[in-house]
Amino acid sequence: MLSPVLQEYGLAASAKDISSLQSGLINSTWRVETRGTSYILQKMNDAIFKQPFLIGENIRMISSFLQANYPHYFFVKPVETKRGSQMLQWENAYYRVFPFVYGSITFPVLQNASQAFEAAHAFGTFTKNMELFNAANLHITLPDFHNVALRQLQFNEALKTGNPGRISDCKMMISEIEKYQDITARYQSIAQSDQFLKRVTHHDTKISNVLFDEKDKAICIIDLDTVMPGYFISDVGDMMRTYLCPVSEEEKDTHKIGIRYEYYEAIREGYMSQMHSLLTPFEREHFFYAGKFLIYMQALRFLTDYLLNDRYYGATYPDQNKVRAQNQLVLLAAYAGLEKKLNASPKRYYH
Ligand code: GN1
Ligand code: MG
CATH number at residue 46: 3.30.200.20
> Where residue 259 sits, what CATH number does that domain have?
3.90.1200.10
**Domain membership flag for residue 162:** yes
160 and 92 share a domain? no
Same domain flag for 56 and 124: no
- Structural domain boundaries enclosing 61: 3-99
Contact 239, 119 (CB under 8 A): yes
pTM of the model: 0.93
* Mean predicted lDDT score pLDDT of the chain: 94
Query: Domain for residue 107, yes or no?
Result: no
Which pLDDT score, from 0 to 100, does residue 261 have? 92
Which of 72, 99, 126 is the endpoint of a domain? 99
Cβ-based burial of 135 (10 A; exposed 0-12, middle 13-18, buried ≥19): middle
Number of domains observed in the structure of the chain: 2
Tell me, using a 6 A CB cutoff, whether residue 234 lines ligand 1: no
Q: What is the DSSP letter of 135?
A: G
| CB distance 298 to ligand 1 below 6 Å | yes
Identify whether 183 is part of a domain: yes
Average pLDDT over residues 216-233: 95
* Residue 351 forms part of a structural domain: no
CB of 203 closer than 8 Å to CB of 228: yes
Q: Which of 67, 99, 131 is the last residue of a domain?
A: 99
- Residue 210 forms beta bridges with which residues? 221
258 Cα–ligand 1 center, Å: 21
Over 70: is that where the pLDDT of 351 sits? Answer: no
pLDDT reported for residue 118: 97
Same domain, yes or no, for 94 and 122? no
Q: Given the CA of residue 25, which atom of ligand 1 is nearest to it?
A: 2
**Ion ligand 2 nearby residues (CB, 5 A):** 24, 204, 223
Please give the helix or strand (H or E) that residue 160 lies within, else none. Answer: helix 148-161
Residues 144, 147, 150, 156, CA torsion sign: positive
∠ CA 30-119-57 to the nearest 5 degrees?
A: 55
C-alpha 125 chain-centroid distance = 16
Q: Is the CB of 86 under 6 A from ligand 1?
A: no
Is there an atom of ligand 1 within 6 Å of 226 CB? yes
Structural domain includes residue 108? no
Q: Are both 145 and 60 inside the same structural domain?
A: no
Q: Answer yes or no: do 339 and 253 share one domain.
A: yes
Say whether both 294 and 223 belong to one domain: yes
Give a yes or no: residue 186 inside a domain. Answer: yes
What local confidence, expressed as pLDDT, does residue 27 receive? 85
- The per-residue pLDDT for range 146-198, each reduced to its tens digit, is 999 999 999 999 999 999 999 999 999 999 999 999 999 999 999 999 999 99
Check whether residue 208 and residue 289 sit in a common domain: yes
Q: At what angle do helices 261-275 and 232-243 cross, to 10 degrees?
A: 150
pLDDT at 17 over 90: no
pLDDT of residue 14: 81
**Are both 85 and 154 inside the same structural domain?**
no
* DSSP count for the chain of H helices, then E strands: 13, 9
Residue 38 and residue 100 in contact, taking contact as beta carbons nearer than 8 Å: yes
Chain-centroid distance, C-alpha 127 = 14
Q: Quick one: pLDDT at residue 350?
A: 59
Q: Same domain, yes or no, for 87 and 151?
A: no
pLDDT in tens, 277-332: 999 999 999 999 999 999 999 999 999 999 999 999 999 999 999 999 999 999 99
Q: Are residues 179 and 122 in the same domain?
A: yes
Looking at 48, 77, 99, which one is the last position of a domain? 99
Which residue has the CA at smallest separation from atom 10 of ligand 1? Answer: 25
Q: What is the mean pLDDT of residues 124-133?
A: 98
- Between CA 325 and CA 249 the distance in angstroms is 8
Mean pLDDT confidence for 5-30? 85
| Residues 73-83: tens digit of each pLDDT | 998 989 999 98
Nearest to 169 by CA among 295, 303, 302, 316: 303
Q: Quick one: which ligand is closest to 45's CA? A: 1
Task: Confirm or reject: Cβ of 24 under 6 Å from ligand 1.
Answer: yes
Share of the chain above pLDDT 70, in %: 99
CB of residue 204 inside a 6 A radius of ligand 1: yes
Is residue 299, in this structure, part of any structural domain at all? yes
Check whether residue 15 and residue 139 sit in a common domain.
Answer: no
Quick check: is 310 in a domain? Answer: yes
Q: Is the confidence at residue 58, as pLDDT, over 60?
A: yes
Q: What is the pLDDT of residues 227-248, one digit of tens each?
A: 999 999 999 999 999 999 999 9
Q: Is the CB of 176 under 6 A from ligand 1?
A: no
Protein residue closest via CA to atom 19 of ligand 1: 26
Q: How far is the CA of 313 from the centre of ligand 1 (A)?
A: 8
Q: Are residues 94 and 119 in the same domain?
A: no
What mean pLDDT comes out for the span 239-262?
96
Nearest to 243 by CA among 223, 263, 228, 261: 263
* Residue of 312, 274, 267, 311 lying closest to 290 (CA atoms): 267
